[in-house]
A and B are shown apart, each in its own frame.
Chain A
């Protein structure tokens, strides 16, 4: 059974960089069948896609966040990571990592447990 385990700090200061890691177990992050992505959900609001990447390193990002987002992969550790720079209070949200099917569907079939990240001094 595939599992995605998230790790990273729950509190980040304004203007600093948010960093989260997602460790995949029960399957390989190097599969050509899947993308690996990040989604966030501000308190009381809907889901917002941040970006996704392929094991080869190719990425695609939400245009509204693209200038501040970096998603990277470490195939040796079966992990992928999110960095969001210059955070403000508006970036306070529950952040999820998830696997999506490659191709024209791009549905997310496995999700991490979620990490509440609060931006505050």
Chain B
């Protein structure tokens, strides 16, 4: 089955850039989506189709996907960005939705 691998944690200082990776076999051939989840809340879609932002999501959030790694980039990080971030794909070969294990972003 298809597996997505994320680092458990990433730390960044306010105002700096955070990069959260999502690794998978030839993930560049799939559409990758990213969710932000704050404690006690439902996930919120922040990036879909590799790099598109839903309405209401700040331009500071961007995404890229190539080869075996997809990346969520958060520029000018704010304290309010502290949350868990999860990547997700649809594996068409098995008709299965797959989530990464999630990355906790800490703002120092």
Chain A residues within 8 Å of B, Cβ to Cβ = 37, 39, 46-49, 52, 60, 62-63, 96, 100-101, 104-109, 111-114
Contact = CB atoms under 8 A, between A and B. Distances in A.
Interface of B: 1, 31, 33, 35, 42-45, 48-49, 54, 86, 88, 90, 92, 94-102
Q: Which of A46, A104, A114 has the most CB of B within 10 A?
A: A46
A101 B31 CA distance: 12
Contacts of A111: 42-44
A52 B31 CA distance: 18
Given A107-B45, A113-B42, A49 B97 contact: yes
Contact of A109 (B45, B98, B100, B101): B45
Contacts of B35: 47, 108
Nearest to A4: B42
A7 to B, nearest CB: 15
Given A48-B99, A60-B95, A107 B48 contact: yes
Given A107-B48, A108-B88, A109-B48, A47 B96 contact: no
Q: Which of B44, B45, B97, B101 has the most CB of A within 10 A?
A: B97
B31 A63 contact: no
Given A96-B43, A113-B42, A63 B86 contact: no
A32 to B, nearest CB: 18
Given A46-B86, A46-B101, 13 more contacts: A37-B97, A39-B99, A46-B99, A62-B97, A101-B48, A107-B48, A107-B88, A108-B33, A108-B35, A108-B88, A109-B45, A109-B48, A111-B43
Contact of B86 (A47, A101, A109): A47
B96 A49 contact: yes
Given A47-B99, A48-B99, A106-B97, A114 B42 contact: yes
A107 B42 contact: no
Contacts of B97: 37, 49, 52, 62, 100, 106
Contacts of B86: 46-47
6 contacts: A37-B97, A52-B97, A62-B96, A105-B33, A108-B35, A112-B42
A4 B32 CA distance: 24
